[in-house]
Amino acid sequence: MLVAERHQKIVEIVNEKLSVRVSELSQIFGVTEETIRRDLEKLEKENLLQRSHGGAVSVKKEETEIPYLEREITNATEKRKIAVEAVRLIFPGDQIVLDASTTAWYMAKELPDMPLSVITNSIKVALELSKKEQIKVISTGGMLLPESLSYVGPLAERSLQMYHVNKAFISCKGVHLNAGLSDANEWQALLKKQMMQISDETILMVDSTKFGTRTFVQVAGLDEVDQVITDSNISHDYVEEFKEKNIKLTLVE
């Protein structure tokens, strides 16, 4: 295969899968990882992809990040009810972390003005909480993703490492019996994983449409979650799985 041909195929693979690792490309094309790294460096200079964490991600932003306004109206009723239920788990004096999901934003709107410390990578969550005088808000900073109005990247990840919280409230794009939690965006997946690592307890907030879905980047295994809040349309298989793993399940109508 000619070099130009390989480059074209690499771009096609990255755009199709949204994210791919150097080792995977090395196996596909039968060349060394060093060769693939040089390929990715050249393709990045041509703005055909973006290198990231031992691989590459697509520069087709519309495929990796759903615009916030669109996410706000997708399953909005279920998300609001899940958020209301999640707020019941928060008490004065808690230290929590909220991701950049729409459900976390609904939580921020529902949270009463009480003494809390909240870390978030979401601009919208931070702005919503800024209206409440007793809540201390800490933003991760980092690289801005305009579509989700959130901060990600190494700076955001390092800032989270400085803290310890009681509870992490996160959402994701997919929940799978075997693959666990996953997200379509590598940056978001890495940050959610870090949020879980700094927390005593992880509460997963997802509507039932996310179950049975497996997106490209794994966030964590199901056994790393302590509680799940979802709507009552969840499959019986997942109800049984959560029972077996001693994961508390709360269903909203």
The answer to whether 233 and 208 are in contact (CB under 8 A) is yes
Nearest to 147 by CA among 250, 33, 30, 60: 60
Per-residue model confidence (pLDDT) at position 64: 47
Secondary-structure class of domain 68-252 per CATH: alpha beta
pLDDT greater than 80 at residue 16: no
How confident is the model at residue 70, as a pLDDT?
Answer: 44
**Contact, 179 vs 224, CB < 8 A?**
no
d(CA 182, CA 81): 22
Calculate the CA 226 to chain-centre distance.
17
Backbone angles phi, psi at 2, to 5 degrees: -70, 155
What is the per-residue pLDDT across 24-58, written as a single tens digit (0 to 9) for each?
999 999 999 999 999 999 999 988 998 987 889 88
Residue 20's φ and ψ, nearest 5 degrees, are -150, 150
pLDDT digits (tens, 9 = 90+) for 207-231: 988 998 888 789 999 999 999 999 9
Q: Looking at per-residue confidence, does 209 or 129 come out higher? A: 129
State the average pLDDT for the chain.
90
pLDDT at 29: 92
Name the more confident of 21 and 1. 21
Quote the pLDDT of residue 199.
Answer: 98
pLDDT at 59: 80
- Look at residue 60 in the predicted model and tell me its pLDDT: 67
Q: What is the pLDDT of residue 75?
A: 58
The radius of gyration of the chain's CA atoms, rounded to the nearest angstrom, is 19
pLDDT at 124 over 70: yes
Q: Look at residue 212 in the predicted model and tell me its pLDDT.
A: 87
Topology of domain 3-59, per CATH? Arc Repressor Mutant, subunit A (1.10.10)
Amino acid at 193: K
Domain spans, the chain: 3-59, 68-252
Closest alpha carbon to 99 in 183, 5, 214, 223: 183
Going by pLDDT thresholds of 50, 70 and 90, the confidence category of residue 133 is very high
Asked whether the predicted pLDDT for residue 81 surpasses 60, the reply is yes
- Give the predicted TM-score (pTM) of the model: 0.72
User: Which residues on adjacent β-strands are paired with residue 117?
Assistant: 95, 136
Residue 19, strand partner residues: 57
β-partners of residue 131 are none
Give the residue with greater pLDDT, 52 vs 157: 157
Sequence-separated (6 or more) residues with CB below 8 Å from residue 93: 115, 116
Residue 175: predicted pLDDT: 94
The mean pLDDT value for 10-19 works out to: 83
pLDDT in tens, 172-196: 999 999 899 999 889 999 999 999 9
